[in-house]
Structure formats: C-alpha cells, structure tokens
Structure 1
Amino acid sequence: MDGNESRADEKVWELLEHISIADPGNEAFRKAVQLAPRVDDPDELLAQAARHALVPALADFLVQADLLRLVPHHAQRHLLGTLHWNRFKTRRHVAEAERVTTAFRSEGVRVACTKGIVCQASLYDGRGIRHFGDIDLMVLPEHRDKAAEVLYRLGYAGAKKYDHRTGELMEISRSVQVMYQLYPDHLPHFFRIPADDEGMPYFMVDVAYNLTWYGSSWQVPMAQVLDEVAGVDSRSASGRVTLPALDAPYGFLFVVLHLFREGWFERTIREKDVRLGQCADVWRFWERFGRDRVADIRKVVAEHALEPAVAWVCRHVDDVYHSTITGELGLDGYCDDDWLHSAGATDGGHLVWQGSLRDRLRGRRPLVLRPGAEPLFAAAARFSPA
C-alpha cells in the first residue's frame, strides 16, 4: 500500500469489520454500536460497504441498533431499499434453488447447495443481509451432463451471460468457453429470465463438480464430499423449505478453499480480489459449526494434504478478526511468511504482495503484485483455475 491516503479510514474500517460478524446482541454488535457514532464520513462508510458486498448488512445493523440517523436522509433510503431488495431476492433465489435441487434429485443427481444460498441461512440466520447473486450447486463429476439436461428442461440456457443493456441473454466469449474447457471443474453458467414481472431480471446457476479446482494436487473425491448431505432450513417466497447442503466439515473447507482460489491466483485477484464478507463467512462458519467439528475437519485436511491452502486463509482471517482458527486446526507450521504473501502468476510464475490482508482489504487501489521466488507449497496449487 502506498500510504494511508490509499486506505479506507481506520474508524470506518474498524466499524465494518465488526458489522461483518455482528448479530443482534453479540460482542461484535455491541462494539459496532459504540464505534458507529465516531464515524464522521458516512460516504466512505457506504463506499466501503458497497465494495465489500456489505450494504445489506450495514443497513440491517443501523436499523437494529436504531442508528440509521447517522447517515444522510437519501442515503438512508438507499440503504433500506437495498436491504429490502436483498431480502426479496434471497427469498426468490431460495424458492428457485428448491425447485432446481428437487428436479436434480428426482433424476438421481446427487446435489448440495453451497456459498451464498446456504450461508445466508446457516451463517446469517436468514435475515436477508448476506449478499449473493446466483445459486451455487455441487454435483458429482459423472452427473454433470445430467445436471445440464435438467437445467435445460427447467428453462435455463447454458454458456450465456446477462446483457444489462438489453435485458437479454447473450453468448459468453470464445475465450471464456475455452477456459471452461481447459480447466473443467464447473459448467459454464446457466441463466433463466423469469416469465413473471416481479423484479427478478434473471436467475443464474453455477454447477461445480470439484471442491478445489482443476490441476491442483489438492483434490477431494466428490463421492466423499457428497456422501453425507445436510439440510438447511430457509425462507423462500412461498414458505419454509429445506435445501441440501454440504456437511459441516466440507462446507467449511469449501468456503475456505474458495477464498484461497480468489485470493491467491493472479487472474482472480485482478478481476475480483477477496472481500471482507468472504472473511466473515469463514469466521462465522468456524464459530457456529467448525469448532464443534474440529476433529472431522482436521481429518479431512490431513487426508488430502490441504494444510497449506487452509492455513493461508485461516491465518489471514485470524489477523483480520483476532481469532485463533489456525492454531485450533493445528496449522501454525504451514504459515511461512513467504507463502502467506505469495500469489500464483497467470504465466506460471510466482508473485508477492506486501502488508497484511487487512491492509489489502482496506486498500482503495489494486493490489501491487511483484515477481518473486517460488515459495513453499506453491507447486501443489499451481494451475490457475477457471
């Protein structure tokens, strides 16, 4: 980072860190209530919340704490509108996820929901404060073609993207199609434009069939991952439903490994570097489910040699929230500083970055990556994911 002028205001950032893991009545919530009146730049607060996909969480906190008055009137309207839209969108996504997963299972496709559609319920109590934009699913590799067939029957189109100018679907670029072919760990996104006119421009479904990514030595058999699928109760547009989700050890590891994937590879760093909300997911998952299943998580990590990637994420999350996940998992020995500050270059080389992850998250400017020597563990993660 190049000086304090390139970072978010410290008071704003400290408040956002607490809001990201705040639930009404918990310690983070109480601390955020104390910090909020000290923030004298609401525009910076809104900008950073938007950058880290935390606007619904910020709005909910200000409402629950009766502190909405701390932001200007028109900003209040924007915050409340975003919160209500996110809650509406979440209910619609849950209903659609239930429709899709029911169809999958009726055709014998073993499936689990992942990421936002699950986290919003299990980690954020279904309050509609966890931002997400698609329905993430995980299936067995041998079921990927059947999964695509089911989605086509449900009205989805594959290998498309939504054109926000026209409101129509368009083909993904040839280069993106080739990337999916070169790194086959999930299908090109599926889109469906709803026939009704109730505010949802589209539904997007992302079907993955790898807990990590193609080309890495860190592989976990998907039959093992999907052997025990849990149920997550969630509120949909039509009532309460139960969505299939990964069992806690695999759910935790998927959240962790997804953060590593976006935070270590140069391509994803350039496109969408890690967000504070992703760190909050890891912290929340650990506090709610991970610590109680620590033995199971450690067993899976050791069985599949996932220690370096899990340690990379957990140590950085610990630094943000002053938590102790890394030590509780017994991974302190994988926290070599060169490894923690490394990144995988798109050309196959190695890159380094400076500062803490907290600095990186606070930074207003793109992360500075410089050529570096190959660190420990990098070879195991080598190939850049799709």
Structure 2
Amino acid sequence: MTRPHVVVVGGGIVGSAVARRLTLSDPRPDVTVVEKESAPARHQTSRNSGVVHAGIYYAAGSAKATLSREGVRRLRAYCHERGLPYEEVGKVVVALDEVELGRLREIEARAQANGVPGLRRLDPVALRELEPHTVGLAALHSPTTAITDFSLVAAAMLEDAMGRDARVVTDFEVTGLDQSGGQVDVRAADGRRLRADRVVIAGGLHADRLAVLAGDGPSPAIVPFRGEYHRLAPSATHLVRGLVYPVPDPRYPFLGVHLTRTVGDDVLLGPNAVLATAREGYRRRDVDPRVLRALATSRGFRRFARANLGTGLREIAGSVSRHAFVSRARRYVPAITDDDVVPAGSGVRAQAMDADGSLVEDFRFSRVGAVLCVRNAPSPAATASLAIADLVVDRLDLD
C-alpha cells in the first residue's frame, strides 16, 4: 500500500516538530519539509531570547495555557534526551507600583490555574535575595521557567525526522497550492512541484499568504513587528541572574522590555516592538512595498494604529535612542548604565491580526481540504512545539 505523502511548508521549530511527529506515526507517512531559505530555522526560531515559558500569563483553558504546559513537560524531557541545553534559571515578574500589584495577583491566579509549579510571592527583601540588583514592590517567582537554544532544538527535531526518512528541501519558495482530487500540487517559484496527500502550513511570517494560496480567507493577516535587543557587556552580566520581567499592562498589546539570561551566559535587554516594513524587516531600511500597501489599505490595521498611537511612538523612541531603551530596563535594575549595553540584533514577530484590527492572542488553526494551516503561532509556540505537533497530526486525519 502506498504511503500518504505529507508536505510541511516551513522549516522553523513548529514545522520541524510536525515533521518529527509525522515520522513517529504508525503507519508512517512519506514526509517532505520545504523551506524557502537556504537552511531551516532562519527567522523566528533563531531570533528569540530562548525562554521556555512556564505558562504564567495565559488565560486558563486557552490553547496557549494547555499547550505550553504540555509543551514544557515534553521539551524538558526532549532536551535531556538529546543532550540539548535546558537550564531552569527562573523568572521574576516584578510589580513597581500599586496598580501593578493588583495585576500581579491576577497573574498569580492564572498561573495557579494553569498548574505552574513552585510559584512564590516575593516581598522586596526576598526579591533582592534572588536578584540582588532588581527592585520592586513585589514579585512573582517561577523557579521552573527555563532557557534553551531553540535553533538547536529545531535542528535536532529535523535530524530525528530525517533519520526516519523524511526529506528536507531548501530554497523552495511556495507560490502555489492547488487542490484537486483530494491531493495538493505544491509549486515553487523556480518551477519545481511536489504532489501531496496532505499539506501542513507552518510558514510563520508568511502564514497568511500561504493559507490564501490554499484557498483559505485573508484573515487573520500577518503584521510584522520588529523586536530589537541590546546585550549587557560582560562586565555587567552579574546584574541579572535569571529572567526579570515586567507585569504586563492589558491596555498595550506587547509585554515591553525585559531582561533575559541566555544559555551562552549573555544577558539580553528587550525586545521592543516596532512596526516592521517588511516581513523579514530586521533593519529599519528593510522596506517591502507590498507590506506597506497592505498596511495602508487595511481598515483593521488603521484602527489598531489609532488605538495604539502612544505606544507606537514610545516604541519608536526606544528604537532610535539607546538611552530611552535602557531607561526601561533600568526601572527594574537601576545599576544598568547606557555604557553597559551594546546592540544585539533583532527578530521579527509574526503577529496575526483579525479584520477588525484586534490582535489574535491565542493559537489559531484552519483546515482547507487537504491543507491544515497554522494561522497564528505566537510565543509560546517554541515552548509548545512538541504539543502543537501532536495536535496538528491528529487533525490531519491520516488514517
């Protein structure tokens, strides 16, 4: 009997996890991963701070909450099995004023509902014992929040898949997904074609474009936001032991600058969130007229921009001024000076936005015939990747 052929579009961590999971199926399908770059995991997977999220912030019962908690359990075991870095350095979520204290209590209730282990409320003295250079009225400590290198994790997942006969095809930019007779003709820009029985779109920054090629609707659309990082100089890395995070403000769509120790013993500051003018707009000068045209003609985006004008201007100020950027981190760690930091690159977040201008907060999937589309996979998608892969494969109905 001929094995069904599944094509996974996108070689980032979600696509890699799906490919690995497919090759563990019984019976095992024929699996091909196609990636538009010359190597997998060039974008969101390799341009992040490496935090394995414990599930603190997410609404109880949401896909983010359930998949992140299962994902953490699976990812910890996988990293230990494969000899990959996994360090439980812990996170403190720090409240700076009375308003944030109220929000901190709400976050604590969410985290407890999600089963986040070992949570502890810290007063200023206990906070200083844990993070000697951090200040705040109170903090919530998550001791099991961890760090890893997601690019290494994704590479290991693809290696597992290829060890079970999966193929990885690079420089394959998908320009067509034509369905007929229960199969999909997957076409590349250079004329190459693959015939598939099922297709999984895990295209990250291109998820909406690819979904439309498969016959899905245009919403949610991907709006790219650049997240810029700075890094503490080696002489200042002692100022942060683990992860120091702000209390989120529900009026604003993004978390804000925080401090993150990495598995390489760097300490990152950031990211901010600046509207990018290209899907892979890692620099200010990266401009794609198609992205500008889509933003300018989107009623939803214009509505979003009006509602968040003040936040956008503050983010731009932090982007062009190192002092403004560092001052946000200094609210939590006052000893950091402008001279202690250097630029450390950027990433671009694939933020899904509904037609009315609201940001899609949870994971979102859709199915069009033989094509399953991962329409929104924001953080904690890397943390939850192994659990997401189970969900995707279950929904493919390969039996």
- Whether the TM-score (by the shorter chain) exceeds 0.5 is no
What's the TM-score once normalised by structure 2's chain length? Answer: 0.28
Structure number having the greater helix percentage: 1
Structure number having the greater strand percentage: 2
What's the TM-score once normalised by structure 1's chain length? Answer: 0.29
- Structure with the greater relative contact order (CA < 8 A, sep ≥ 6): 1 or 2? 2
